[in-house]
Chains A and B, each alone.
Chain A
């Protein structure tokens, strides 16, 4: 990646990887995000914390286009995400445009969502082959590498139903990485795992975080993990950012009362 480091040294500021500007999201009468503004720089690993219902997961789902915003603008690398430029105007993005933008983003779900009709290998190679157009050999080779990385070398031909929850989640991580995303969304990836398995999944994620420059957006209840992995923490409440800081600062010395109460409750 020499070009990237070169770009970093030049004076021209890069556009943020992710930018939310006045984003509004309502479910019926319930306003989940109320004019949210924030941005994430390239390579940032941002953890979103806060009580449930504060809109953290909604942010990830908006980015993955699993939900549609009711207002505001989301941009990726300076390009509008949910809207596209037609001349000078912004119009609602076509499915084709959204698909192009989406290739930059991968997601790991709380419930794994592996495809039960495919083997572990097929789960990982299916999208690279049929969405990115990789050859079977290339996709298979990459799958083997990724499986080794998540410690599941021998499981390529197993079906998801034959794996434990922790193993399934590791496959899901490999599956997301196989798409070479610039941004990885982690939505409570350890919440449906048995406590003794959580550590193995988190160790893998920590590895990935520290060995790549993938931008990560993390929703988690594992505060230790947030501390280890992220370089920024955003505290959410009621669809707004209450406080943001480096993990060390926010965990040891939170300024806001809401953050203090929340951390007291979860730590």
Chain B
């Protein structure tokens, strides 16, 4: 029951992120997703000390560290809103609704011989990954693209959670560390972009051709 609620919330916040232009809202959504993802492995009711420790680490990285790093970058930039994405917010919302249907259809037809703990996790993970990719493609702000990357990775991470074969803890931690370094390096790059160009719109990054 708990997992179903979490999945409904995740779907809703994904829709929010598709329809908002406020960058701070996007970052809050990242934090929210981080909490849900961190709790997800232990929400099934199995209490394994290793799982609990990993959950705590995952929450502190995904829900506290990432958002605070992004907020810090945002405060350095002095901007608050996304400017004119390639696809408008209303249209994005409609596409998002279509994507929900599509991801449920895909996950029904996947020949997944293992039975995941909850049938709702798989479609929501596909939907989350879709939203991440969609943000990277349609938004112009470098910061929103990083947010999209994080959401995309969250979606893939959720797919990993439903696997019966757990990745060894060491690998999970290393993946988390990689994501952390990625956000760190991207944050620094965004800072340099804003200083060099006086904005962080990536459609202006188009000098290098052919």
User: Do these two chains really belong together in a complex?
Assistant: no
